[in-house]
Structure formats: C-alpha cells, structure tokens
Structure 1
Amino acid sequence: MSSENLFKRLSGIVATIVTVALSASSALGQAFVPGEILVRARPGAMVEAHMHLSTRGLVVAQVDPWSGVKRVLVPIGAERGMADVLSRLGAIEYAELNGIGSGGLAPDDTFYAIQWHLKNTGQSGGLAGADVDAEAAWEITTGSASIGIAVLDSGIRAAHPEFAGRLASNGWDFVNNDDDPEDDHGHGTWVTGVIAANANNTFAVAGLDWSCTIVPIKVLNQSNAGTTFNLAQGLNYAAAQANVHIINLSLINYPGNATMTNALQGARNAGKILIACAGNNGIGNADVSFPGASPLTISIGATTRSDARWASSGTGQALDFVAPGASIATVSAAQPITNTRSVVSGCSFATPIASAIASLVLARSQELSQAMPDQAALYLLFLAGADDQVGQPAEDTPGWDEFHGWGRLNARRILRAIEPCIADFNGDSNVDFFDVQEFLSAFALQDPRADLNGDGALNFFDVQIFLGAFAVGCP
C-alpha cells in the first residue's frame, strides 16, 4: 500500500480512536531506562514473538535465561508507544518499560535530615512536601562533572572536604587580582555548598547537584561587598570560560547601569545561563535590586519550609520563580573545618537551588543525547515544572504573581519535562488532535520525523508506535 493510500486510510480511522486516546492520561511517573523495553513471549510463541520484533527493526540486547524476558532496544521516546503496540499482539504476553528503582538515594551526610529544602518531612514545624523533590530528582540524575557553574561571590573555602574534587582550576579573584579566590567572608562557601556539597561522604550536608564542577570567581570582599567594576569583570571572565554553562549571581543591590547591563548581555551572548537573586528587601525589591532585576537573568525569590514567601524576599514584576531560601543548612565556612553546618536565609540561597536544578537539567540533556537548553529553553522547563499555588492563597494566585513568580521550583517535575515524548509530535507541550494531524502530514510527505522506529522506512509500524504513544500520553 502506498504512503498516500495508507495516509487516507489512517485519516479515516484516527477519528474513532482519538477521543478515547485523549482521555488516557499518563499516570506513569516511574523512571525508566530510555530506549529500552522488556518483552516476554507467550509459552510456545517465542519464534512468532521474535518475528514481531524483527519486522519492526527492534534489537534484542539481552535475554534472561530463567524467565525468557528480553531487553529490547527501541528509539528513545518510543518506549511507551512500542510497549503498547507489542502488548496487543497475541504472541506476546507483555511488553513494558524497563523501570528504574533504587536502594534509596537519600544521602548519608550528617545533617541531611535538617535539609528541608531537599526533603521536607514536616521537620521543625514545616509542611511535608514543601521542597524541591530532590530524592525523586536524584533517581533521574545526580549531575555531571562536565557541567560547570561559575559562582560569582566572596570565593570558596577550597580546602573544605565538601568541595574535594569539585573545583575547576580556572577560578579567579577580582578583588585581589590573583588566581586564588579564597573565601574571606563565608557567603560564597554557603552558596556553593547549597549547589554542590559532596554527598554520601558521611560529613556535613549534601548539595543538590552531586557532580557538577564549580568555577569560583571572587567579586565580593571580606565585608561581603563588591563593586560594579569587579562584578562586570567576573561576568566577562565567566563568559569567556568554555567550562562554564551557568552563572550563579547570589548578589543584591547593585545598580542597573550600563556597565552591569553590558556585562550581563555579554554573558548571555556567550550562551551562559544567568540565575540571580530577587532581593532581600521585601515588597517591590525584585524590580530594583540588580543583577536580579535585569530581564537578562532568571530572578529567584525565597520561600520558607511551609511554602510561604520568606518575609524579606523581593517581590515585583521582575520576579520569575521562587525556591526554598529560609533556614537552609549548608557548608560551614568556619575555621578550623569540622563536621558541622551553617544555617542561612535569603534569596542568596534560593538562587543556588535554581542553579543546581539547571545543572541537573543540562546533565540529563546530555544523558539523553539532546541539545543542552539555553536560557530561554530552560525558562520554559522551569515553567513546566514549577509548583504553582503552594504559598499563601492571597499571594500565590494562579499563574504568575509578583510574590511567587510562576511558582516554587520542583527538580523532579522539571527533569521529567525534558524526557522525550513522541506523542507530543508538534512539540507544543500538549497531546491533542493537532499532534495526530502533524504526524499524519509528516507521514504523507515522507518526512523522516515520522520514522519513529528508526528503520529508514515509513510504514504501518511507525503509525502503530505513534498511536500507541498517543493513547498513553506524556509523563
């Protein structure tokens, strides 16, 4: 049958299944191995089942000799659709996702139990679940050393064991103009600890990203103050570093002058993601406290362990999102180094949570062989994964508001948003009839996008995969 005739036939039958398919929702939040499914043949039908796999161009990677279950390779994004198609065949007992579990990814760090921003159990009077869902996010990825975050701050306690193996060699001190960005205040160490404190070392605390590389850039002095000139130097330097993907700006009260704007724009032009603090002076402060007030940054406010806005968190039109930022346990900058922690509050500590989520997203994109999102794409992922209306009803209204922005960031939901889903064929984040139209049009035009099983041919198997995926929906 020609593709044109098949297209006409399919167009005639699609309407009868779309209504049912649209009502199917994906309740499957379980993590699974991309590009794999598990298939078991019915007794006595092993040859026929194998033929079904072969004709669809599917490769059996491994067979369990005891159960006969096959680990089958499928195109990334087609896992649910292919499993649905195969499970309908008489020769196949079942086809399902190769799910991922774990022995539990709660780290063993001494003070992890009080890090409510990672896992809020209601400890110390908090609201259970008012967190970034870190443990579920770690089931998906714990980060990658190939992702670099420049922390423009007061420097870093480089000898601290919480940063062992995590610091790049190209850090710089623009306050003292040398290559030793040692922290003589503490703020930079606290901020960096929220992002990247080594986890599972039975010491102190856990960062949200367990693997990223930190490029410490000192722009604040021992009084935790800095000049526009030094900050601009730091931004320009970070923009020129190939190992920097994200720039964390836990900084407030700078002027939004030309020097600042040009440096921020230069970093954006270099492809860096800029995440900044929304201010610590309450109502309206997000609009006047730079660099976070600049539209060139993603501006982050702070919430409490009960999902309320932290009282001093900056609000305003410039605010984009919020993240936990009150009573955050992080790495202590005290000397000598001991197994302890510091507890700090402010948008300075909500901002690195957002930066760490961004670095996890970039790492996961690499794992999925996707292009890493730029700042605009990351913003959309944050938007897709933010928890809205979790704060006080008078402030956290539906959609964007000046108190919580688009909502409190949720690492698990944001990471789920980048998982490929072929059911959303037109990429508009909705699974609806327009996706069916787009797929059928691509199929009729012999568009390679419609070759869902990657066998180089457009045929009924591709249609089966799409319709199966469409019926299941996206996670």
Structure 2
Amino acid sequence: MLRRDVRFRSLIFLFLITTACQKNVQDANDSLSDPLDSPFKTEKLQLDMPTLMKTNSAFSKANSEQLLKVTQMSLDKINLPKGMPLIFIMDNNCRERSEFSVPSGEVSTLDHQAHIITVSESVVADILAKRIKNDPCVVGAANDVPLEALTTPNDPQFASQRHLTSIQASLGYDIFYGSTGILPSANIIMAVVDSGVDYTHQDLAANMWKDAQGNFGYDFVNRDSDPRDDFSHGTHVAGLMAATTNNAIGVAGVMGIGGKIMAVKVLGNTGSGSSANAINGINYAVQNGAKVINLSIGGYGKSAAWEYALGNAVNSGAVIVVAAGNSNLDITSQWYTPASYSRQFNGMISVGAYDSTTKGRSPFSNYSTTYVEIGAPGSNGIFSTMLGNTYGTKQGTSMATPIVAGAVGLTLGFIKSRNYALPSPQIIENLIFNSAPSHSALTSSFKGGKMTDLSELAKALNQQYPVQSQTPQPAPAPEPAPAPAPAPDPNLISFALVRSDSNQDIGMLTSGATISLSSVGSKINIRANATADAVVFTLDGLAPTIDKLKPFAAMGDNSGDYLDWTPAIGAHTLQVITYVILGGSYREKEAVKLQFNIVP
C-alpha cells in the first residue's frame, strides 16, 4: 500500500500486517530518543544474512549460498522474495507524510512503532532501500526474528518455593524490608513483556500497575488495552518477580512489596510471537515509566530492529533483564536474541539457569562465560502463580530471569527509599554483578560463576547507600565496574590514553577503569585502535566529534584520536563508532561504549 510513484509502482507492493496500541504518553519525544549507536544511522534497511538464510527458506532459495558466510552484502545483490516479512519502525509523529501508509486501525500513539511488512512481489533490496532512505518517517527496517516463551517440561511434584531459599531471600529481606529499607510506596514499575498477566489473580492484583485510564498494560497481539494472559507463561513470570508478600495466601515474589507489575502482552496463546510485537512492547514499557523490563522470551537470529529498541530502552534509564535461552548452546558464538545483545549494551543483564540443589548449570540452559552474566534457579520446577487463582511449576531460563529482575527491582526500591537519586542502568548492572558470589560449579558456564544472592546484594547496598536525611542526594560513586571480557571478534576497538603535552602513552582505557587526574595531566588524547575508514567519538553525551586529524578519510595508522580533552573528576561515558567505505558510502562497522571514572 504505497503512494503513487511512476518509477517504482510496478515493481513492489507492500502490505502492512502490524500491531497497535493505546497508551498515555506525557512526553514521548523525551522518553524515547534515538540511541547514540542506532543501527540505522548509515543504512536504513538492515538485513542479517545468516539469520535470513537459516530462518527463511524462500530467501535462501532466492539468494546465493555465499550469504551464509557474510553479515553484510551490497543491497543490489540481495533478492527479497514474495512473502518475506520485514520489520518497519515508523515515526508516528509524521506517518501521514510517509511513503508507506499505515492503516488507521493499526496506528498507536507510541512515538516509534514497529510494523510487520510482507513483500508481495519479489524485488531487489536496493530498490526498497532507496525508497526507505528518502522517507524521513521511516526510522529503519530490518529482518524479523520469530520468538517463543522460554520454558521446558518439568516435574510437577516439586511444588515449593525452594528458589527463595537458594538465593538467600530471608537474610536479604532483613535489610531490604527492615525499618530503614524499602517503602511500600517505592512503586518501582517492572514490565513483564510476555504472554500477558492474569491481573485478577489473588496474589498479583494488589501489585498490578495501572495507567491513567485504569488499564493494566497493553495487548499487542489482539491490539487492545486488555493484556490478560491466555498462555500462563507471563503470569508465572510475574509471580516470581513480584507476587504480593505478607498477604497470607499463595506465594511470595522476589519483590513482593514496593514493586508494580506492568503487563505487556506480545506472545499469543501458543507462546509464540513476532519481534515487531516485542519491540512495540519494549517501547510501550519505556514510554510508560518502567524501570525494569523482563524479557523471558527469545529466538535464534539477529535483527537491527532489536538493537534499536534495546538501545532506546537502556538510554532511557530502564534495566533490561533477559533469558539466556534453553538450548544448551554457547551463545558466545551462537547469536540468540535478545540475550546476545547484552554484550553491546551496559545496563542489560543476561540470565542463565542453575539447579538449586547441585548449584550446577541447568542442563537446558544456554551459557557463556563472557555474555551470560549471572545465574538464578531455573530447574526442578519453580513454583509460582498460574491462571485462574491457581499455582504450579515451570522450569527454564524464563523462570530464572524474573528472579534477577526482582533483585533489580529491590535494588532500585532500596536506593529510592533511602532518598538517593536512582543511578543509571549501567551502575545497577554492576551492583548486581559485583555483589553476587561465585560458585565453582558455574565458572565454566556463566561469567565469573556468578549466582544470585539477595543477602550479599542487600549487604552491598546497605554499605554503599547508608541511611541519610530525607532530601534526595546524588547517588554515591559506585564500585569500579569489572572490565568486560573481550569478544572473540578480533576487530573490536581498543583504546589508549596519551598525554597531549608530551605525547606520552599513559596506558589502555577499559570500561570500569579508575584513572588518577594527576597521572594524565591537564589535557589528554583518547586513541581508538581499530581498522576502519573513519571514527566518530561521543564523550559524555556531547555531539559526536569526528577524528580531527583524518575526518572521514583512510586511517593509515589504524587509529583515530579524540584530541585535547580536559579531564574532569567524576564518571564519564565514551562512545566510539567506526565506519568502513562500502559502495562509495560510509557504513557503520563497530560501536563500543565505555564507562570510566576520573579521581583526584
């Protein structure tokens, strides 16, 4: 359903199959801004070739097997077959001026909304890309990734909440809910982006979030404001995260006091769904104030649309907690959405499952000593809320994830109740990771062998955020974050510090580093060591600065410099994007973000 265009009208017709929603946005432009490292900056049509070749048989038949070996190829060499779905992210503020018309019944008041578009006639990708590029109302387009709920078969005889014992919940609650702990009025909004939630359940009703119209969230599957669960997965997840505590019935959630559950339905009654629905669900959660987003969903493959949505969420201040997946695979080399994106965004936590009895990795859980950051109980039947005021067991990384999401909620509620300003998602991630103990049975499966422990988390928070006056104060400086383990890709960017006055090498700059001001002098250069044709810096959110020596020119020494920066005491964020020349234009290659501290 395209507007008339003599040049291309006969070549392709696109029909929109989409989701819609209704919500109350106070200031959409402020709450959902383009991420600094948007994948659509240099090319608005992004296709992941290995994903398409493996998941879309029509695409693989229409294209050369060579695409299995590359992640990018010139769009004029790619054929889009009839029936192939794409995700279009549209700017609803100007949709009426778009080349691609959206039916009024499928339009929401989300600032940016994802739509599934099906190609009805085969076309070369370059033709579509040119139209998208010239349309300012299309944020970007990418391939879809099918999703599913992440539970596995379980033994119904294990009907107990032993997972709370495993994570030392009782000891942690002595601090979290002590006389100077979390207030019931903390109201930390935690979004369950899943199959919906049974919001009438006796153990969930008191902790449900509502919008100004009294809705408990939104249903992106049926396109209405009733996110009632018809699969039970989301209800089970919600109970683990925040079932009401001390109500003398049922079960207790990890954050049963002070948390509010936002129900966002993106999976249907079979537990499956599209990435477009999930992306809209994430955007909805962000625009309606969620500080924690639980994603117990996933699928194999990669899409720039996911990168865009997750970047927006983290940059907007939400901590994202994602399930690592249930296929017993190493996601260091196997890309799994959304969990694998935790390598790209600080403030996003990927969760694996372990057995509460043996403390070893659950045999079904995906793993990575680089990208799965923490484990939580997920085996032997995790007991929680089910549809119709009932209770039952499920197992999987889906169950481990809301346990960690609840821990994130407790962290935010504790800091808020002690009158500190809420820290960034990156700092919250570091607090969760740094406080978690290591277990030898997990060191070969999860980063540092870390396992969730509410007692240790509460002790760390009590020390770093002591009781103070009722006047909100800036958050105290966090413990230095652990430097992220390098990815296996040898092309990742590294950074060096150089004194401007003497050109003396000071050392390497890594995320979480603490640097003495006296050691670096009054001005320093930050050098990016990377193989690229151009490098762009953004420091502390300021406008990007192109390498002053070789702006958008070949870097013969494989480096670019951010020149003559005057360091200031405090926390800083550096973002660097490298570009390569493809087809006569610059294409984004790598994006890296570092947090570091300057001390006296």
Give the structure-2-normalised TM-score.
Answer: 0.47
Match of 1:227 in 2: 274
> What's the counterpart of residue 339 of structure 2?
292
Alignment of 1:40-439 (within 5 A): 114-119=160-165, 131-142=166-177, 143=182, 144=184, 145-170=186-211, 171-211=217-257, 212-242=259-289, 244-253=290-299, 255-285=301-331, 287-295=334-342, 296=345, 297-305=348-356, 306-316=358-368, 317-335=370-388, 337-338=389-390, 341-391=391-441, 396-397=442-443, 401-403=444-446, 405-420=448-463, 428=479
Query: Match of 2:203, SS?
Result: helix
TM-align CA RMSD: 2.9
Q: Is the 8 A contact 2:324 2:351 kept in 1?
A: yes
Letter in 2 for 1:271: G
Provide closer, same or farther for how the CA distance between residues 377 and 182 of structure 1 changes in structure 2, counting only shifts above 3 A.
Answer: same
Count of matched residue pairs = 301
Query: Structure with the greater relative contact order (CA < 8 A, sep ≥ 6): 1 or 2?
Result: 1
The 8 Å contact of residues 309 and 404 in structure 1, kept in 2 or not, is answered as no
- For the residues of structure 2 that align with 1:239 and 1:422, how far apart are their CA atoms? 26
Q: CA deviation at 1:331?
A: 3.1
CA-CA distance at 1:255 after TM superposition:
3.2
Given that 2:382 and 2:393 are in contact with CA atoms closer than 8 Å, whether structure 1 keeps it comes out as: yes
Paired residues of 2:373 and 2:433 also in contact (CA < 8 A): no
SS of the counterpart of 2:298?
Answer: coil
Please tell me whether the aligned partners of residues 251 and 385 of structure 2 are also in contact (alpha carbons under 8 angstroms).
Answer: no
Deviation at 1:320, TM superposition (A): 1.0
Instruction: Mark the runs of 5 or more structure 2 residues left unpaired by the alignment.
Output: 1-156, 212-216, 467-475, 482-515, 518-600
Specify which structure has the higher proportion of helix: 1
Q: In the TM superposition, what is the alpha-carbon distance from 1:200 to its structure 2 partner?
A: 2.4
The 2-side partners of 1:275 and 1:329 are apart by 18
**Residue deviations 1:155-204, cap 9 Å, x none?**
01111101122111230000011110000000000100101111222322
Quickly say closer, same or farther: Cα 1:259–1:137, change in 2 above 3 A: same
Structure 2 Cα separation of the partners of residues 183 and 426 of structure 1: 41
Unaligned ranges ≥5, structure 1: 1-110, 120-130, 431-436, 439-475
Residue identity in the other structure for 2:398: S
- Give the direction of change, closer, same or farther, for the CA distance of 1:188–1:405 in structure 2 (3 Å limit): farther
Give 1:429 deviation, angstroms. 6.7
Cα offset, 1:114, TM superposition = 2.3
Distance 1:365 1:375 in 2: 13
Task: Report the TM-score, using the length of structure 1 for normalisation.
Answer: 0.59
SS in 1 for 2:230: coil
Q: CA deviation at 1:238?
A: 1.1
Post-superposition Cα deviations, 1:391-413, rounded to whole Å, max 9, x if no partner, equal 2xxxx33xxx5445541011121
State the Cα deviation string for residues 330-382 of structure 1 (Å, max 9, x = none). Answer: 334244x34xx211111001100100000000111012222223221112111
User: Would the aligned equivalents of 1:386 and 1:406 in 2 still touch at CA under 8 Å?
Assistant: no
Bigger strand share: 2
Q: C-alpha displacement at 1:284, in angstroms?
A: 1.2
- Give, in whole Å, the separation in 1 of the partners of 2:460 and 2:264: 31
**What letter matches 1:365 in structure 2?**
I
What's the offset of the Cα at 1:139?
Answer: 0.9
- What does the per-residue CA deviation read over 1:142-162, in whole Å, with 9 as the maximum and x for residues that have no partner? 454410101100001111101
